[in-house]
Amino acid sequence: MFTRLKTIAEICGLGQTYRALYYIREHHRGQFRIGLKYSEKRIPYISHPLMMACHAQSMGLSDDSLLAVILLHDVCEDCGVAPEELLFTDEVREAVALLTKQFDESLPKAENEARYYAA
């Protein structure tokens, strides 16, 4: 999946997508998916954003910013990176920030979720 997206990014001149691939590979290194429904197998976490970006691209969604956001969508939650620290365009940083769950521990779960989905 990485190689497929990298090749598409190179051929189509998708610079942010290209950089996002290497960014997530570095930041998700050593992380694994947990709580898999049908398996005890440890799957590298990077497979999740790669699969989502491959699905989007295969459906004809090839906007550079969109693919970069798809690849980066969990990096802030899972890797301790603040959205404003991402070295990508404002559009990508803002979209990743909207997708990053930042729950206020003083609020009930339902209210936190309502705020997240409203954003």
First to last CA, the chain: 30
By CB neighbour count within 10 A (0-12 exposed, 13-18 middle, 19+ buried), where does 60 fall? exposed
Q: 2-118, which class in CATH?
A: mainly alpha
The residues spanned by each domain of the chain are: 2-118
Compute the mean pLDDT over every residue in the chain, rounded to the nearest whole number.
Answer: 92
Other Cβ atoms closer than 10 A to 73: 21
Other Cβ atoms closer than 10 A to 38: 5
Q: Which of 36, 68, 37, 76 is nearest to 52 (CA)?
A: 68
Q: What tens digit of pLDDT does each residue of 16-73 get?
A: 999 999 999 999 999 998 766 777 778 899 999 999 999 999 999 999 999 999 999 9
Provide the residue count of the chain: 119
Global pTM exceeds 0.85: yes
